[in-house]
C-alpha cells in the first residue's frame, strides 16, 4: 500500500469495503444494512459519550491524587485516600 | 508447518506439504462475521414466521404446522440465511465445452438470489479455473472427439441394459484390458459413474466383522460405501501415519469390540489427492504399514490418475512404487480423461469376484459407447500408443503449470494448502462475505473459479479451489494470476505471514518455460 493513499477518498472507501466484508454487511439487503449501521453507530456513540464523561472524571481524580503525593511527600499515604 | 521428509529411504523425492495455520485475528473476525449473519438469520426467520416478510423457501403446509418441524435444524437455517445470500457463485450454467476457456450464460437476480433470470447474453471466453480438466481432454475437436463421433454413429448412444445382462459391449472389454495395461495391474473393471464405483463396490468387498480405517477427509462416496457395508469404521487423522499405526495396533491387539475375535479383514481407505486440501497421501508409509499389519489398501485415485507421475499413471508412479502393493486401485475417468465413469483395478480374482457381486455391475446401466471411446482414445494418447507425443507433453505441461502457479501464488502472499505437486490449489478465504465477493469479482474479470464454503469444509476454513489444466497456456495463467493479485489486494486476502523468497538458483520464468514448451 502506498503511504500517499493514506487519506484519499478512495482509500477511505477501500477501508469501508473491508469493514463491510469483515462484518458481512456486504451480503445484507439495504434495509438490513441500515439497521446494522444504525445499531453500530448508536453503540459507538454511547461508547464515546461514556468515555467522555467517565474518563475525564477518572483522569482528573487520578491527577489530584498524584499532586497531593508530590506536595506532601512525608505524609502517610493512607490519610490521603478518602 | 513444512514436512520435508527423507524418511528411511521410503521417499525418493522430497515431500513438501504445508498447511499454514489460520492467523488468530482472521479466525476471530471470521467468527464475528458468522455471528452477525446468524443474528440477522434469526431476525429474518422471526419476520418470516410472523408473516412480516414473504417466505420464499420450502416450509410445511398449513395443516402440518403442528407436526414435528422439518426445517429447524442448523443445516436448513444455514441454507436459508447464509447460503442464499451468496448462491449466485454456484450452479452457474455454462454453454460450451469446459476447456481452458468456457462460455457462461449471464444471469441476474432481482430478489436477492431466491430466483434467477437469464438476460440472454452469453459471457464468452472466461478462463476456466474450476473444471477438473487436468490433461485438457475436454475438447470439441481432435482425435478423441472424432473417434467418439465415429463410435456414436456405429453403436448409438444408449446401451439399454446392465453389464451382466445384454450391456457388455466389445468396447467395454477393450477398455478394461487397456485400463489394466495402463495401470500395470492384472485386470480392471469400468463402471458408469465414479461415485457409484465407490459406494457400490466397498459393500461388496467388506461386510460385518471387518474393520475399515478411513482418512478423516475422505470423499462422500467412500464414506457412503463404508457405511453401507456394515463394517466397523474408525477414522484416523488426515494423512497422519502415527494415528493410522495406533489404530492398526489397537485393532490387532484388541480385535472386535465385544467378542475379542480377530477382525476378518482390515481395509485402509485413502485417496490419491484430496480435492479439498490439495494434499497427496503418504503412500510409501501407508504401504509399509499395510504390509507390517497384514491389512488391505483401497486407493481412490479420482484426482491423481493422469495428473501425477512422469507418465501420468497416478500416485503409485509418482512415488516410484509397484502397483501390486495396492490391493484395490480405484479411479475415475471424469477428471483427467474428459469422460465419465470409474474403474477398479487389481488382481484377476478380485475383479472376477466384483464382476459377479458388485451392485453396480448387476444393476447399473453400462457405460455409453461414445464415452468409452473417448476414454480409450485419451488413455492411448497418454500412453503414447497413438503415435504422437501429445500425451507426454500434456503431462509435463500440467506439472509445469502446477509448479509455476503454486509458486507465484505463494510469493504473492496467499495461504495455499497442500502439496507442491498437486494440481488442485486451495486458496484460503476464511470470511463468509469474501466467499461471495471473490466469486463475483473474479467473474467480473472474466475468470471462473469455484469457491467452497461450509458443508464441504470446516466452517471457518472456506476456500477458493483452482484446478489447473494442461490446456492452460502460460498467458492464461499470467492473466489469471494478475487478476487474482488484484482481487487479493482489493479483498485483503494475503494472509500469509511467511513470504517465500523466489528461488535464486533457477533463472526466472521466461527462460524456464521456453525450455520445456514444445
pLDDT for B452-490, tens place per residue?
A: 998 889 999 999 999 999 999 999 999 999 999 999 999
The grid coordinates listed for B102 are 468456457
Q: In this model, does residue B518 exceed pLDDT 50?
A: no
- CATH classification code of B143-383: 3.40.640.10
Confidence class of residue A56 from pLDDT cuts 50, 70 and 90? confident
By DSSP bridging, strand B328-332 and strand B296-300 are: parallel
Q: In this model, does residue A1 exceed pLDDT 50?
A: no
Determine the Cα–Cα distance for residues B373 and B411; give it in Å rounded to an integer. Answer: 42
Q: In this model, does residue B503 exceed pLDDT 50?
A: no
pLDDT of amino acid B512: 40
Of B33, B112, B490, the CB nearest to A24: B33
Domain B20-128+389-498 has CATH 3.40.50.620: no
Confidence class of residue B8 from pLDDT cuts 50, 70 and 90? low
Instruction: Give the closest residue to B437 by CA, choosing from A25, A38, A34, A11.
Output: A25
Average pLDDT across chain B, whole number: 90
pLDDT of amino acid B168: 92
Which residues on chain A are in Cβ contact (under 8 Å) with B37?
Answer: 24, 27
Bridge partner residues of B447 (DSSP): B127
pLDDT of amino acid B30: 95
According to the per-residue pLDDT averaged within each range, which of B3-12, B160-169, B371-380 is highest? B371-380
Who's near A66: CB < 8 A, 6+ residues apart?
A: none
The grid coordinates listed for B500 are 517465500
**Residue extents of the structural domains in chain B:** 20-128+389-498, 143-383
Question: Domain range for residue A75?
Answer: 8-80
Q: In this model, does residue B348 exceed pLDDT 60?
A: yes
The pLDDT of B48-55, averaged and rounded, is 88
Determine the Cα–Cα distance for residues B409 and B412; give it in Å rounded to an integer. Answer: 5
Of B29, B85, B112, the CB nearest to A22: B29
Residue A30, SS3 per DSSP: helix
Q: In this model, does residue B289 exceed pLDDT 80?
A: yes
Per the structure, the count of domains in chain A is 1
Question: HSE-up of B277 (CA within 13 Å, CB side)?
Answer: 21
Are A14 and B490 within 8 A, CB to CB?
A: yes
Determine the Cα–Cα distance for residues B425 and B270; give it in Å rounded to an integer. Answer: 19
pLDDT of amino acid B27: 94
Q: How many residues are present in chain A?
A: 82
In tens, the pLDDT along B86-126 reads: 999 999 999 999 999 999 999 999 999 999 999 999 999 99
**What is the percentage of chain B residues whose pLDDT exceeds 70?**
94
In angstroms, the separation between the Cα of residue B87 and the nearest Cα of chain A is: 11
Question: HSE-up of A15 (CA within 13 Å, CB side)?
Answer: 9
Which residues on chain B are in Cβ contact (under 8 Å) with A20?
Answer: 433
pLDDT of amino acid B7: 55
In tens, the pLDDT along B218-274 reads: 999 999 999 999 999 999 999 999 999 999 999 999 999 999 999 999 999 999 999
pLDDT of amino acid A69: 87
Are A21 and B490 within 8 A, CB to CB?
A: no
In this structure, the number of other CB atoms found within 10 A of the CB of residue B456 comes to: 12
Of A18, A27, A29, the CB nearest to B436: A27
Residue identified by cell 458443508 is: B455
Q: Residue B298 CA to chain centroid, in angstroms? A: 17
Greatest alpha-carbon pair distance for chain A in Å reads 66
The ipTM estimated for the assembled molecules is: 0.80
Residue B468, SS3 per DSSP: coil
**What is the percentage of chain B residues whose pLDDT exceeds 90?**
79
Determine the Cα–Cα distance for residues B241 and B79; give it in Å rounded to an integer. Answer: 36
Give the predicted TM-score (pTM) of the model.
0.87
Q: In this model, does residue B436 exceed pLDDT 80?
A: yes
Confidence class of residue B415 from pLDDT cuts 50, 70 and 90? very high
Better-predicted residue by pLDDT, B507 or B386: B386
Indicate the range of A30-39, B9-18, B49-58, B274-283 predicted with least confidence.
Answer: B9-18
Of A14, A26, A36, the CB nearest to B433: A26
Determine the Cα–Cα distance for residues B54 and B59; give it in Å rounded to an integer. Answer: 12
Confidence class of residue B19 from pLDDT cuts 50, 70 and 90? confident
For chains A and B, CB pairs below 8 A equal 43
Better-predicted residue by pLDDT, B515 or B155: B155
Confidence class of residue B57 from pLDDT cuts 50, 70 and 90? confident
pLDDT of amino acid A6: 65
Amino acid at each position: 500500500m502506498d503511504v500517499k493513499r493514506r487519506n484519499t477518498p478512495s482509500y477511505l472507501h477501500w477501508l469501508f469495503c473491508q469493514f463491510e466484508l469483515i462484518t458481512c454487511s456486504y451480503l445484507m439487503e439495504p434495509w438490513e444494512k441500515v439497521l446494522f449501521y444504525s445499531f453500530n453507530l448508536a453503540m459507538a456513540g454511547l461508547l464515546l459519550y461514556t468515555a467522555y464523561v467517565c474518563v475525564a472524571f477518572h483522569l482528573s481524580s487520578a491527577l489530584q491524587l498524584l499532586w497531593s503525593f508530590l506536595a506532601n511527600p512525608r505524609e502517610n499515604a493512607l490519610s490521603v485516600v478518602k | 508447518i513444512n514436512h520435508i521428509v527423507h524418511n528411511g529411504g521410503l521417499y525418493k523425492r522430497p515431500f513438501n506439504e504445508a498447511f499454514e495455520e489460520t492467523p488468530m485475528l482472521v479466525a476471530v473476525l471470521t467468527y464475528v462475521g458468522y455471528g452477525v449473519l446468524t443474528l440477522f438469520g434469526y431476525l429474518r426467520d422471526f419476520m418470516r414466521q410472523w408473516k412480516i416478510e414473504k417466505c420464499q423457501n420450502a416450509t410445511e403446509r398449513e395443516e402440518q404446522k403442528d407436526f414435528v418441524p422439518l426445517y429447524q435444524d442448523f443445516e436448513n437455517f444455514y441454507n436459508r440465511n447464509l447460503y442464499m445470500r451468496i448462491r449466485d457463485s454456484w450452479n452457474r450454467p455454462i454453454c460450451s465445452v469446459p476447456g481452458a476457456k468456457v462460455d457462461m450464460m449471464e444471469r441476474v437476480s432481482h430478489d436477492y438470489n431466491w430466483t434467477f433470470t437469464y438476460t440472454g447474453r452469453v459471457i464468452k471466453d472466461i478462463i476456466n479455473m474450476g473444471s477438473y480438466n487436468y490433461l485438457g481432454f475436454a475438447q470439441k475437436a481432435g482425435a478423441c472427439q472424432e473417434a467418439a463421433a465415429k463410435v456414436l454413429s456405429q453403436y448409438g448412444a444408449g446401451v439399454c441394459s446392465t453389464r451382466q445382462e445384454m450391456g457388455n459391449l466389445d468396447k467395454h472389454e477393450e477398455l478394461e484390458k487397456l485400463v489394466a495395461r495402463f495401470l500395470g495391474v492384472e485386470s480392471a473393471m469400468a463402471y458408469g459413474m465414479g461415485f457409484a464405483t465407490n459406494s457400490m463396490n466397498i459393500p461388496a468387498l467388506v461386510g460385518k466383522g471387518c474393520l475399515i480405517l478411513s482418512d478423516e477427509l475422505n470423499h462422500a462416496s467412500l464414506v457412503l460405501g463404508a457405511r453401507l457395508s456394515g463394517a466397523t469404521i474408525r477414522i484416523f487423522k488426515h494423512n497422519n501415519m502415527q494415528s493410522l499405526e495406533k489404530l492398526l495396533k489397537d485393532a490387532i491387539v484388541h480385535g472386535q469390540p465385544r467378542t475379542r475375535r480377530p477382525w476378518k479383514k482390515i481395509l485402509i481407505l485413502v485417496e490419491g489427492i484430496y480435492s479439498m486440501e490439495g494434499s497427496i497421501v503418504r503412500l510409501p508409509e501407508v504401504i509399509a504399514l499395510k504390509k507390517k499389519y497384514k491389512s488391505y489398501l483401497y486407493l481412490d485415485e479420482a484426482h491423481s490418475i493422469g495428473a501425477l507421475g512422469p507418465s501420468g499413471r497416478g500416485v503409485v508412479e509418482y512415488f516410484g512404487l509397484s502397483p501390486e502393493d495396492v490391493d484395490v486401485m480405484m479411479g475415475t475417468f471424469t477428471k483427467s480423461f474428459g469422460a465419465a465413469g470409474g474403474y477398479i483395478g487389481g488382481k484377476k480374482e478380485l475383479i472376477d469376484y466384483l464382476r459377479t457381486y458388485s451392485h453396480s455391475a448387476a444393476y447399473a446401466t453400462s457405460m455409453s459407447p461414445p464415452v468409452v471411446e473417448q476414454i480409450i482414445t485419451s488413455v492411448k494418447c497418454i500412453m503414447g500408443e497413438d503415435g504422437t507425443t501429445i500425451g507426454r507433453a500434456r503431462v509435463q505441461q500440467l506439472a509445469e503449470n502446477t509448479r509455476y502457479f503454486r509458486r507465484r501464488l505463494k510469493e504473492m502472499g496467499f495461504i495455499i494448502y497442500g502439496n507442491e505437486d498437486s494440481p488442485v490449489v486451495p486458496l484460503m478465504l476464511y470470511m463468509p462475505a469474501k466467499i461471495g465477493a471473490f466469486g463475483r469479482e473474479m467473474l467480473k474479470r472474466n475468470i471462473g473459479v469455484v469457491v467452497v464454503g461450509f458443508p464441504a469444509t470446516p466452517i471457518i476454513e472456506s476456500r477458493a479451489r483452482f484446478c489447473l489444466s494442461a490446456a492452460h497456456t502460460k498467458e492464461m495463467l499470467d492473466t489469471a494470476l494478475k487478476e487474482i493479485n488484484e482481487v487479493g489486494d482489493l479483498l485483503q486476502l494475503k494472509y500469509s505471514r511467511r513470504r517465500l523468497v523466489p528461488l535464486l538458483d533457477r533463472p526466472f520464468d521466461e527462460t524456464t518455460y521456453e525450455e520445456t514448451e514444445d
